[in-house]
């Protein structure tokens, strides 16, 4: 009978050494998946674009991001659960968790030997510091390019720092892997070039004779260039009839290079009206928010490893990559400069991991209590400078707007005119959920372009809708509220409807009649919403502009409170500010729509609609509607 010996302490340590990074990655995957956005979360950033481009294998904005589009598109199609947007959000969570795992392994290698317990705790410290940074955590919960970019950055650095330990055929294979990863990085995000100066200095410094030409160079060069062929995806998809969301890509030789090189973005180094300018104090606050003061201190301690003769070259690589990305983020003028700091945050976390290992090495008696206490303090640092916890799992606002937009009862041939993000939301619902397909979304970011689009659409006799106000058209048309939109009609030719509840409330000395209202409860994903449609009819032209104040009150007149502590109130101009009341055509019905989130209704709850003069604030009339619980 064979006796199986229990695992030795050394064997257990080796097992821990192998699985620890992946256990950390799994823990962060569960965290990121739990806090990921459930659907669309933003209308006016790149997230919504990617949530539509990836599942449809479309063309993303410059530089095209072919690796991300293909990998994320395959993932979103293969994953059997959830909506398109959530699947793409989860792809970021997966990439982000893998990044944390690789960072664990990178920091451990930089901090000491593989089977050194202090090095393992240093790796864990790095993973916690970076993985819980608010900027990184946010990117891990939405569809964005930065999780995959930093995954490749971490992988490149890990392979690079392991090269001096390799020799012969193993060295050549690792060099091949290194340049393949660099090529994949360049096929995804152009800021991968910021790694190249540090890599060149590090490789020439740490590997004697590397500069001497060898036949294997051709293989390494092929590994670097082969992933760049992924950019052919863009003209091939364009040749098949696919375009980017705003129609800017031109499928010509010059158009291809303009897109891939993002030539129109080079001006962001000098000026950008949407840029967010940070002062020195702002940058410092942002940095500390990622790690807390304790993490910042460990980073400084970790810099002391530069003085260690054995690790000096490897740490030089980390510092050079950190400095290059920091300089780029400081110079690049965009609305979200913090995301370009993520590789710098990653490198700083690796430094902090070495700092944690250094602190542990100085302890005379390293007890488990001390180690666990340090880990817990790193994890719970939000009270000492760390930024807030990120949880987007209940962020349904943009999703609910998109569904509402797509569920409008469009007549055949309808045209919806709005901003790019609003139209992307409608396109998403059309392609992902099959809603609102009778409407054609028309992107018009500029007011003059919107005005021309309205004129063309109305001249063609198409049912025309606006998402927002447009100065200069109020006297040219009649209008009606249709869900979150305003429909345009030829002046005094609107198709009238009968309200479900009649009121016949007279305002402004019988010059304005509130004929009635519709009240509907909408079961939105983010919570129930009350939709109130008011039916106005002016008997003559009005000489003032009115506003409507909605509030939900209890039997004593106290305003109800939402679960988040905000009062259940809304103040708004009629027709979403498209047409002030002073421009309404006499005798023509005006349907006017409002939405108000419904709280837990108190006893005797009423929806109170107060109509008042927008200039003098004088009340013109009110409507009281009892709300059954």
Domain ranges of the chain: 15-240+253-262+276-384, 499-629
For 517, other C-beta atoms within 10 Å of its C-beta total 20
Could you tell me what percent of the chain has a pLDDT over 70? 90
Report the pLDDT value the prediction gives residue 216, as an integer from 0 to 100. Answer: 82
> In this model, does residue 301 exceed pLDDT 90?
no
Beta-sheet pairing, 501-507 with 512-524: antiparallel
Report the pLDDT value the prediction gives residue 137, as an integer from 0 to 100. Answer: 96
The answer to whether the Cα torsion of 237, 242, 247, 252 is positive or negative is positive
Mean pLDDT of 430-441: 95
Report the pLDDT value the prediction gives residue 5, as an integer from 0 to 100. Answer: 47
Report the pLDDT value the prediction gives residue 564, as an integer from 0 to 100. Answer: 78
Residue 410 vs residues 155, 482, 578: alpha-carbon distances, Å: 50, 9, 19
Mean pLDDT of 315-340: 89
**Residue 313 contacts residue 205 (beta carbons within 8 Å):** yes
> In this model, does residue 53 exceed pLDDT 90?
yes
**Residue 103 contacts residue 351 (beta carbons within 8 Å):** no
**Residue 50 contacts residue 64 (beta carbons within 8 Å):** no
The answer to whether the Cα torsion of 312, 318, 323, 324 is positive or negative is positive
> In this model, does residue 445 exceed pLDDT 50?
yes
How far apart are alpha carbons 84 and 57 in whole angstroms? 12
Mean pLDDT of 385-413: 93
Place of tokens 């009121």: 503
**Quick one: angle between helices 312-331 and 84-111, nearest 10?**
140
Token pair of 552, please? 């939900």
Report the pLDDT value the prediction gives residue 268, as an integer from 0 to 100. Answer: 57
The partner residues of 442 in beta bridges, in order of sequence, read 417
Report the pLDDT value the prediction gives residue 45, as an integer from 0 to 100. Answer: 85
Q: What are phi and psi of 505, to 5 degrees?
A: -90, 125
> In this model, does residue 581 exceed pLDDT 60?
yes
Token pair of 542, please? 């009005």
Token pair of 478, please? 């009649």
The partner residues of 529 in beta bridges, in order of sequence, read 522, 597
> In this model, does residue 372 exceed pLDDT 60?
no
**Residue 601 contacts residue 560 (beta carbons within 8 Å):** yes
> In this model, does residue 122 exceed pLDDT 90?
no
Strands ordered across the beta sheet of 414-418: 439-443, 414-418, 464-466, 485-490, 477-482, 590-597, 527-538, 512-524, 501-507
- Judged by average pLDDT, the poorest of 509-518, 555-564, 606-615 is 555-564
Query: What single-letter DSSP state applies at residue 250?
Result: -
How far apart are alpha carbons 53 and 65 in whole angstroms? 11
How far apart are alpha carbons 408 and 312 in whole angstroms? 64
CA 182-187-193 angle, to 5 degrees, is 50
CA 434-440-445 angle, to 5 degrees, is 120
Tens digit of each residue's pLDDT (9 = 90 or more) over 264-296: 776 656 656 666 778 888 888 888 888 888 888
C-alpha dihedral over 465, 466, 470, 472, to 10 degrees?
10
For 15, other C-beta atoms within 10 Å of its C-beta total 11
> In this model, does residue 369 exceed pLDDT 60?
no
**Quick one: angle between helices 196-206 and 312-331, nearest 10?**
170
**Residue 349 contacts residue 126 (beta carbons within 8 Å):** yes
Residue in 487, 401, 444, 62 with CA at minimum distance from that of residue 265: 62
Confidence of residue 141 (pLDDT cuts 50, 70, 90): very high
How far apart are alpha carbons 475 and 589 in whole angstroms? 15
Tens digit of each residue's pLDDT (9 = 90 or more) over 201-239: 999 988 888 788 888 889 989 999 999 999 999 999 999
- Judged by average pLDDT, the poorest of 296-310, 434-448, 482-496, 541-555 is 296-310
> In this model, does residue 178 exceed pLDDT 60?
yes
User: For the chain, what is the mean pLDDT?
Assistant: 88
Which distant-in-sequence residues (6+ apart) come within 8 Å of 321 by Cβ?
Answer: 153, 157, 194, 195, 198, 343, 344, 347
Token pair of 378, please? 């790193």
**Quick one: angle between helices 117-131 and 280-303, nearest 10?**
170
How far apart are alpha carbons 365 and 587 in whole angstroms? 88
Beta-sheet pairing, 414-418 with 439-443: parallel
Give the CATH architecture of domain 499-629.
Sandwich (2.60)
The answer to whether the Cα torsion of 447, 451, 452, 453 is positive or negative is positive
**Residue 275 contacts residue 268 (beta carbons within 8 Å):** yes
Confidence of residue 113 (pLDDT cuts 50, 70, 90): low
**Which residue blocks in 393-440 are alpha helix, DSSP H?**
397-406, 420-428
pTM confidence score? 0.91
How far apart are alpha carbons 601 and 605 in whole angstroms? 6
Residue in 382, 320, 295, 395 with CA at minimum distance from that of residue 86: 395
Report the pLDDT value the prediction gives residue 565, as an integer from 0 to 100. Answer: 82
Q: What share of the chain is helix, strand, coil (3-state, %, to 5)?
A: 50, 15, 30
**Residue 348 contacts residue 103 (beta carbons within 8 Å):** no
Tens digit of each residue's pLDDT (9 = 90 or more) over 11-50: 555 666 778 899 999 999 999 999 999 999 999 889 999 9
């Amino acid at each position: 009978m064979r006796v199986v010996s229990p695992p030795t302490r050394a064997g257990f340590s080796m097992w821990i050494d192998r699985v620890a990074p992946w256990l950390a990655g799994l823990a962060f995957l569960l965290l990121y998946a739990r806090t990921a956005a459930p659907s669309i979360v933003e209308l006016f950033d790149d997230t919504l674009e990617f949530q539509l481009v990836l599942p449809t294998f479309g063309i993303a904005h410059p530089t095209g991001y072919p690796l991300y589009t293909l990998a994320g598109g395959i993932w979103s199609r293969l994953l059997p659960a959830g909506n398109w947007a959530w699947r793409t959000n989860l792809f970021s969570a997966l990439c982000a968790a893998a990044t944390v795992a690789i960072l664990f392994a990178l920091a451990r290698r930089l901090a000491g030997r593989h089977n050194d317990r202090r090095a393992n705790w240093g790796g864990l410290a790095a993973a916690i510091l970076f993985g819980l940074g608010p900027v990184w955590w946010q990117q891990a919960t939405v569809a964005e390019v930065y999780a995959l970019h930093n995954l490749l950055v971490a992988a490149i650095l890990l392979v690079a720092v392991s090269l001096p330990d390799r020799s012969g055929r193993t060295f050549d294979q690792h060099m091949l892997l290194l340049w393949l990863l660099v090529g994949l990085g360049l096929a995804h995000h152009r800021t991968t070039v910021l790694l190249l100066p540090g890599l060149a200095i590090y490789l020439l410094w740490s590997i004697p004779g590397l500069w001497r030409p060898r036949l294997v160079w051709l293989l390494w060069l092929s590994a670097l260039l082969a992933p760049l062929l992924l950019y052919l995806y863009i003209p091939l998809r364009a040749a098949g009839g696919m375009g980017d969301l705003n129609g800017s890509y031109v499928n010509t030789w010059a158009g291809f290079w303009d897109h891939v090189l993002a030539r129109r973005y080079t001006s962001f180094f000098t000026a950008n009206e949407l840029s967010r300018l940070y002062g020195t104090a702002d940058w410092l606050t942002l940095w500390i928010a990622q790690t807390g003061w304790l993490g910042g201190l460990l980073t400084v301690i970790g810099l002391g490893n530069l003085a260690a003769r054995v690790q000096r070259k490897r740490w030089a690589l980390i510092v050079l990559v950190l400095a290059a990305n920091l300089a780029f983020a400081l110079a690049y003028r965009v609305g979200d400069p913090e995301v370009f700091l993520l590789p710098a945050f990653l490198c700083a976390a690796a430094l902090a991991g070495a700092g944690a290992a250094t602190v542990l090495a100085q302890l005379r008696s390293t007890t488990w209590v001390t180690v666990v206490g340090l880990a817990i303090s790193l994890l719970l640092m939000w009270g000492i400078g760390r930024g807030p916890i990120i949880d987007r799992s209940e962020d349904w606002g943009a999703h609910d707007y998109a569904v509402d937009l797509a569920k409008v009862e469009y007549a055949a041939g309808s045209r919806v005119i709005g901003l790019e993000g609003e139209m992307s939301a409608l396109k998403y619902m059309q392609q992902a959920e099959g809603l609102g397909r009778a409407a054609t979304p028309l992107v018009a970011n500029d007011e003059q372009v919107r005005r021309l689009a309205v004129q063309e659409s109305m001249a063609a006799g198409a049912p025309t809708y606006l998402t927002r106000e447009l100065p200069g058209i109020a006297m040219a048309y009649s209008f009606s509220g249709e869900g979150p939109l305003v429909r345009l009609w030829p002046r005094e030719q609107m198709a009238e409807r009968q309200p479900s509840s009649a009121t016949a409330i007279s305002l402004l000395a019988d010059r304005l009649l509130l004929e009635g209202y519709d009240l509907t409860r909408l079961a939105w994903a983010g919570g129930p919403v009350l939709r109130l449609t008011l039916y106005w009819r002016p008997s003559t032209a009005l000489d003032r502009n009115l506003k409507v104040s909605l509030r939900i009150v209890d039997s004593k007149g106290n305003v109800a409170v939402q679960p988040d502590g905000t009062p259940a109130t809304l103040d708004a101009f009629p027709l979403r500010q498209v047409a002030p009341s002073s421009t309404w055509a006499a005798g023509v019905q005006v349907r006017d729509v409002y939405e108000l989130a419904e709280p837990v209704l108190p006893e005797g709850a009423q929806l109170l609609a107060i109509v008042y003069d927008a200039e003098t604030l004088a009340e013109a009339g009110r409507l009281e509607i009892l709300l059954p619980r």
